[in-house]
Structure 1
Amino acid sequence: MKRITIAIDGFSSCGKSTMAKDLAQEIGYIYIDSGAMYRAVTLYSIENGLFKGDVINTEELKRRINDIHITFRIDPETGRPNTYLNDVNVENKIRTMEVSSKVSPISALDFVRKAMVAQQQAMGKEKGIVMDGRDIGTTVFPDAELKIFVTASPEIRAQRRFAELEAKGQEVNFNEILENVKQRDYIDQNREVSPLRKADDALLLDNTNLTIPQQKEWLSMQFNKIIKQ
């Protein structure tokens, strides 16, 4: 059976990562979390003193960017990929609040995006991957055989995020989350480097009113269509 590249893009809080991980596991592909790569660069910057407060030393990071190598390896216990920064497992470290609070300015740097796109493209040379993000089908893998663009109403996405945070015991305000979702949409679509947009040949998946089983069935159907061509 031929192996292909699957690119999943879309708005925040649409469940892209969960969708991509589940699909990859189901079809035996490698899942690559593009967001984890920007988190790993952020962690490197923190650990190497490139932040002064919230201000990044961009010139020093630019000098070091080619020394930052990110890979993914399957955890035999969970079956999920872990993120490695220069051969060190940093999967847990990159999920901390410290990294979360500093990743946005890092991911907006053009030279960082250029370096990460090059690494992502190298990972995809052998096919058999599922990658999710904001610019996978437009910038990273414009020739991907299957491109999905995921959306849902801001209200539904805010509700999902609200439920997720509430389940973790955090005190949350729905209106604040909704405003944050709308702000992120605007930033993602209007940033100068690789803005979020649907590729012309991407399939639109609006999961506003879909259950997870319905979504999985739809994705499997699209994958099987491409494979049989």
Structure 2
Amino acid sequence: MTFTIAIDGPAAAGKGTLSRRIAETYGFHHLDTGLTYRATAKALLDANLPLDDEAVAEKVALELDLMGLDRAVLSRHEIGEAASKVAVMPAVRRALVEAQRKFATKQPGTVLDGRDIGTVVCPAAPVKIYVTASAEVRARRRYDEILANGTAADYDAIFDDVKKRDERDMGRADSPLKPAEDAHLLDTTEMSIEAAFKAAKTIIDAALQKN
């Protein structure tokens, strides 16, 4: 029996950093499900295929290898823009959700982070954590991260982008961003990654003892 940890939340709330740390600590497999949409978009771009043909995008999504997704490459802005177009296609979402569910069965356990893990992808996961933070703090984190990478950044533009993404993610008809009813809420607005990790570890350890 595999043990699945579902971590959801809005952009730049810290769920990716937290998920990778949890996976490393427990020796579990980790999947950033957002990268699966980006990888689908990149495959379409690389093959010069249209971004508005659902049948083509579905075929690419069905053939996607979820192992070894390159975060550095897939984080590029133009790939993110393309991903936002394919992510709204129901056929693409169905294909990738199926692939994500298959990934979640890996032994000894898995950590999946995204927008709809606890509500859609793995609703039976024994641990569901919803990581959030204020839009201002999330924009500041993204801004600081870009500066740390040696790139220029505009805080106001990033703040607007964070708010737009929240509206798009929370307002979409298919799998909107929202906490599962039985999810543990983790507000990281005034929390260090260390404090957030300790809080998450307490939740996970309690669930592992019951399992």
What is the TM-score with the length of structure 1 in the denominator? 0.85
Aligned-pair CA distance for 1:100: 2.4
| Structure 2 Cα separation of the partners of residues 184 and 98 of structure 1 | 15
Higher deviation after alignment, 32-41 or 199-208: 32-41
AA aligned opposite 1:11: P
Would you say the 8 A contact 1:7–1:132 is kept in 2?
A: yes
Higher deviation after alignment, 167-176 or 27-36: 167-176
Q: How large is the Cα RMSD of the aligned pairs?
A: 1.8
Higher CA-based Rg = 1
Structure 2 partner of 1:78: none
Structure 2 partner of 1:69: 64
Would you say the 8 A contact 2:19–2:111 is kept in 1?
A: yes
Higher deviation after alignment, 30-39 or 96-105: 96-105
Aligned-pair CA distance for 1:142: 0.3
Structure 1 partner of 2:205: 224
| Structure 2 Cα separation of the partners of residues 187 and 140 of structure 1 | 19
Structure 2 partner of 1:200: 181
Aligned-pair CA distance for 1:3: 4.4
Would you say the 8 A contact 2:40–2:61 is kept in 1?
A: no
**1:114 aligned to 89, 94, 108, which one?**
94
Structure 1 partner of 2:38: 39
Unaligned runs of 5+ in 1: 73-81, 84-89
| Structure 1 Cα separation of the partners of residues 159 and 78 of structure 2 | 23
Asked if residue 56 in structure 1 is aligned to residue 55 in structure 2, the reply is no
Aligned-pair CA distance for 1:125: 2.3
C-alpha distance after superposition, 1:102-122 (max 9, x if no partner): 111011111100000001111
Would you say the 8 A contact 2:43–2:60 is kept in 1?
A: no
Q: How many residues align?
A: 209
Would you say the 8 A contact 1:41–1:68 is kept in 2?
A: no
**1:171 aligned to 152, 158, 170, which one?**
152
1:20-169 → structure 2 map (5 Å cutoff): 20-51=19-50, 55-62=51-58, 64-65=59-60, 67-72=62-67, 82-83=68-69, 93-126=73-106, 128-169=109-150
| Structure 2 Cα separation of the partners of residues 71 and 92 of structure 1 | 15
Higher deviation after alignment, 205-214 or 140-149: 205-214
Aligned-pair CA distance for 1:138: 0.3
In structure 2, the CA distance between the partners of 1:178 and 1:134, relative to structure 1 (3 Å rule), is same
In structure 2, the CA distance between the partners of 1:181 and 1:149, relative to structure 1 (3 Å rule), is same
Would you say the 8 A contact 2:37–2:87 is kept in 1?
A: yes
Runs of 4+ in 1 over 3 A off after TM superposition: 90-93, 95-98
Question: Identity over aligned residues, as a percent?
Answer: 33
C-alpha distance after superposition, 1:1-22 (max 9, x if no partner): x741000000111111111001
Structure 2 counterpart SS, 1:143: coil
Structure 2 counterpart SS, 1:156: helix
Structure 1 counterpart SS, 2:130: strand
| Structure 2 Cα separation of the partners of residues 7 and 223 of structure 1 | 11
Aligned-pair CA distance for 1:193: 1.2
